[in-house]
Amino acid sequence: GQQLNQSPQSMFIQEGEDVSMNCTSSSIFNTWLWYKQDPGEGPVLLIALYKAGELTSNGRLTAQFGITRKDSFLNISASIPSDVGIYFCAGQSGNNRKLIWGLGTSLAVNP
Amino acid sequence: GAGVSQSPRYKVTKRGQDVALRCDPISGHVSLYWYRQALGQGPEFLTYFNYEAQQDKSGLPNDRFSAERPEGSISTLTIQRTEQRDSAMYRCASSLTSGEASRFFGPGTRLTVL
């Protein structure tokens, strides 16, 4: 099925560094979502974005809904070891609830 | 229950057998979603329900896959005549309202078809 372009595919950073990842689509979305998945667990919703240009924070996480409605980014500031995991973006268009997902960004944090 | 539960957690079956995967959403949640996630991939939408009504089944790979939610609570995803390519993690998610994104995911059922 259709999947979004998410980059980078993986990141290995030092504790305390900031992280940025993004997601792009060939089609317009009206909702962008960011999830984190730990090994063996289901995805956990981090941030939901519903409006073009919207910038939303959740603690050290900040996400933005691109103005073109075809992209979104997620920033993590001052990373800590528990930030390790796979981060997925997901988008939704129209009125249906079908989510299109990215392939994930795997984050490793060196303490 | 406190969260979304799924059963069984692991299912190993032989090719050609039928399997039924169960999802028990958070009590009172209107929307229920089924996803399939292959190793190293993001989840892939299969189908979703609002109450007992199946709203979108466009993600079901073929007619061997079906899902139901007859009383608007527990849902069953059935795969008939399983094939090896059906092996994956099958995840269920629920949301309190129909306007909300997939928020609460279950632990998944790992299906292996030999």
pLDDT of residue A2: 66
pLDDT of residue B1: 52
pLDDT in tens, A60-106: 999 999 999 999 999 999 999 999 999 999 998 876 678 899 999 99
Grouping H, G, I as helix, E, B as strand and the rest as coil, residue B31 is strand
Greater model confidence, A96 or A34: A34
- Position B67: which residue type? A
CB contact under 8 A, B41 and A98: no
CA distance B10 to B8: 5
pLDDT of residue B97 exceeding 90, the answer is no
A39: pLDDT confidence band, cut at 50, 70 and 90?
confident
Mean of per-residue pLDDT scores for chain B = 93
Q: Which residues contact A7 (CB under 8 A, 6 or more apart)?
A: A21, A22, A23, A105
Grouping H, G, I as helix, E, B as strand and the rest as coil, residue B112 is strand
CA distance A10 to A90: 17
- Looking at the complex, report in whole angstroms how far the Cα of residue B23 sits from the nearest Cα belonging to chain A: 13
Greater model confidence, B99 or B24: B24
pLDDT in tens, B38-83: 888 888 999 999 999 999 999 999 999 999 999 999 999 999 999 9
pLDDT of residue B42: 85
Both tokens of A62, joined, read 């900040």
Q: Could you tell me where the DSSP H helices lie in chain A?
A: none
Mean of per-residue pLDDT scores for chain A = 92
Residue in chain B closest to A94 (alpha carbons) equals B99
pLDDT of residue B98 exceeding 90, the answer is no
pLDDT of residue A1 exceeding 70, the answer is no
Nearest 5 degrees, angle CA B57-CA B63-CA B67?
A: 50
pLDDT of residue A57: 96
On chain A, the residues whose CB falls within 8 A of the CB of B4 are: 42
- Looking at the complex, report in whole angstroms how far the Cα of residue B86 sits from the nearest Cα belonging to chain A: 14
- Phi, psi dihedrals of residue A83, rounded to the nearest 5°: -75, -10
Is there a contact between A58 and A110 (Cβ–Cβ < 8 Å)? no
Q: What is the mean pLDDT of residues B12-41?
A: 94
CB contact under 8 A, A96 and B56: yes
CA distance A88 to B46: 17
CA distance A11 to A13: 6
